[in-house]
């Protein structure tokens, strides 16, 4: 399992006083502020959330030490992480995206399909990006019970019902 989990991403500045748009990847969006200081991917910077509020499609946050629009602008697209130990254990049939990345993808027949390299959400649910075993392009599959009936974190694999190909 991953030692750190990405819980948010900073977007563009919000206003001129250093606030930022924030996209939370936690089940409850405002909970992102409950896990203590947030760190950059390389761990070189830490941010404490001083204030946070809901906006239309994102959060607006004030991060300690970010006082103006220029400072906020330099943080655009920065991903924020917390140590896994600070997060609650997932419920049954819930998974952290970080735990899915790297799992082997195996078809129901047992044939190796590839490996999960990313989990995306473009607004209509989670999508698994799988690097095919034979190489080449990746495939995107919905992360739902019909397509992925089995997730075996301990066994480091998922079972995929292959999509039906049409001619």
For the chain, which domains are there? 4-86 (2.40.30.60), 97-160 (2.30.30.240)
**Beta-carbon count within 10 A of 147 CB:** 16
| Residue 167: per-residue pLDDT | 46
Mean pLDDT, the chain, whole residue set: 90
Q: Read off the pLDDT of residues 119-160 as tens digits, 9 standing for 90 and up.
A: 987 777 889 999 999 888 899 999 999 999 999 998 999 999
pLDDT band at 25 (very low <50, low <70, confident <90, very high): confident
Q: What is the pTM of this model?
A: 0.74
DSSP letters for 40-79: ETTSS-EE-EEEEEE-SSSEEEEETT--SHHHHHTTTT-E
């Amino acid at each position: 399992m991953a030692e750190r989990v990405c819980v948010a991403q900073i977007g563009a500045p919000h206003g001129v006083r250093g606030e930022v748009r924030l996209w939370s990847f936690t089940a409850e969006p405002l909970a992102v502020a409950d896990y203590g200081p947030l760190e950059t991917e390389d761990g070189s910077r830490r941010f404490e959330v001083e204030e946070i509020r809901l906006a239309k499609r994102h959060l607006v946050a004030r991060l300690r030490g970010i006082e103006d629009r220029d400072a906020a602008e330099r943080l655009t697209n920065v991903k924020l992480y917390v140590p896994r130990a600070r997060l609650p254990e997932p419920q049954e049939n819930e998974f952290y995206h970080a735990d899915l990345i790297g799992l082997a993808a195996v078809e129901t027949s047992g044939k190796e399909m590839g490996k999960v390299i990313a989990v995306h959400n473009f607004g209509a649910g989670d999508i698994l990006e799988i690097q095919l075993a034979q190489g080449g392009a990746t495939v995107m599959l919905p992360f739902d019970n019909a397509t992925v009936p089995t997730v075996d974190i301990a066994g480091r694999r998922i079972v995929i019902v292959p999509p039906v190909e049409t001619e």
